[in-house]
Amino acid sequence: IDMYVEAIIDLNELLLMHTFQPEDKKQEHFANLVDKATNRYFPVFEKVLKDHGQDFLVGNQLSRADVQLLESLLMAEECKPDILAKFPLLQSFKARISNIPTIKKFLQPGSQRKPPLQEKDLPRLMKIFH
């Protein structure tokens, strides 16, 4: 679980940093993000799901790794809606985990999954991330 979570955190960092890229770097960062997601991270998790043959990444019950991966997949789709097109097992994983009743409720519009970015906070965030 820890190994998968560490890899997912690396992917999350790419996804999170996209928002904070200066305009002149945004396109280059986006291309790098899509390349790494679709050629490095997603193929590994697709293979893990195939080889494991279960509904979850590890064992036969929900773990932190499953929740982290779901969040990363949702974030990736926010950046590029068709990013999972070549990954059918990740698509079904996302649908399956998203339909767990407590997660489904949390993902409803208006939930606290991801509070909207406040314009007033942007300068402070840019200072932190740059």
Q: Look at the alpha carbons of 115, 26, 37, 128 in this order and tell me if their dihedral is positive or negative.
A: negative
pLDDT, tens digit, 9 for 90 and up, residues 76-120 = 998 999 999 999 999 999 999 999 999 999 888 777 766 666 677
CB atoms within 10 A of CB 39: 9
pLDDT, tens digit, 9 for 90 and up, residues 61-75 = 999 999 999 999 999
In the block, tokens 């402070």 appear at: 124
Report helix angle 42-52 to 88-98, nearest 10. Answer: 80
Domains with residue ranges and CATH for the chain: 1-129 (1.20.1050.10)
Please report the pLDDT score of residue 114 as a whole number.
65
Q: Of 107, 70, 62, which is closest to residue 90 (Cα–Cα)?
A: 70
pLDDT, tens digit, 9 for 90 and up, residues 16-26 = 888 778 889 98
Residue 116 per-residue DSSP state: P
- What percent of the chain is predicted at pLDDT more than 70? 93
What is the pLDDT averaged over residues 49-67?
95
Please report the pLDDT score of residue 17 as a whole number.
86
Please report the pLDDT score of residue 19 as a whole number.
78
CB atoms within 10 A of CB 94: 19
What is the pLDDT averaged over residues 27-51?
96
Structure tokens at 88: 């059918």
Q: Are 72 and 11 in contact (CB under 8 A)?
A: yes
The model's pTM? 0.85
Burial label for 95, CB within 10 Å (0-12, 13-18, 19+), is: exposed
Please report the pLDDT score of residue 18 as a whole number.
85
> Taking the CA atoms of the chain, what radius of gyration do you get in angstroms?
15
Report helix angle 2-19 to 64-79, nearest 10. Answer: 20
Please report the pLDDT score of residue 117 as a whole number.
65
